């Protein structure tokens, strides 16, 4: 199976959806924030490994705690995934903090500051 194939894309979407469901409804770990979202899941072509990108709305400490909770619950999440997704091999899960939301907010702030400075220069002239 090729990495960018339709089958791989479907598997990624299904795995992401099921992991999100397990994280929101199946895990009782208090370290995992209620504001946790699984933003993406990328399964390798051989279906052995899956990198799961997680976004946490809150402080850096909450994000670190949530990531630690997810890593400790990876075995449980994997077993639930095996029951809900019909794959020949259930992939090993690796959780990674998704920084794209914070990066996007940073870019928005930079553009806003640039726009405000241009307005100030225009008003001075």
* Residue range 45-66, pLDDT digits in tens: 999 999 999 999 888 899 999 9
- Please tell me the distance from the alpha carbon of residue 52 to that of residue 86, in angstroms, as a whole number: 18
Q: What are the structural domains, with CATH classification, of the chain?
A: 6-98 (3.30.300.20)
Q: Which two tokens stand for residue 12?
A: 């990624």
Three-state secondary structure string covering 41-83: EEECCCCCEEEEEEEECCCHHHHHHHHHHHHHCHHHHHHHHHH
Q: What is the pLDDT of residue 98?
A: 87
Q: What is the pLDDT of residue 1?
A: 60
Backbone angles phi, psi at 45, to 5 degrees: -60, -30
Q: What is the pLDDT of residue 2?
A: 65
DSSP state of 90: P
83-111 pLDDT, tens digit each: 999 888 999 999 999 887 777 777 888 88
Q: What is the pLDDT of residue 125?
A: 61
pTM listed for this prediction: 0.79
């Amino acid at each position: 199976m090729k990495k960018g194939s339709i089958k791989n894309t479907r598997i990624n979407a299904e795995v992401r959806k099921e992991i999100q469901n397990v994280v929101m409804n199946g895990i009782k770990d208090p370290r995992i924030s209620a504001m946790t979202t699984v933003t993406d899941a990328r399964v390798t072509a051989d279906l052995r490994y899956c990198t799961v990108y997680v976004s946490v709305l809150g402080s850096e400490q909450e994000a670190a705690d949530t990531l630690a909770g997810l890593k400790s619950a990876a075995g449980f999440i994997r077993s639930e995934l095996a029951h809900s997704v019909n794959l020949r091999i259930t992939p090993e899960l690796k959780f990674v903090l998704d920084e794209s939301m914070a990066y996007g907010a940073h870019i928005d702030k930079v553009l806003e500051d640039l726009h405000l400075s241009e307005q100030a220069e225009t008003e001075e002239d």
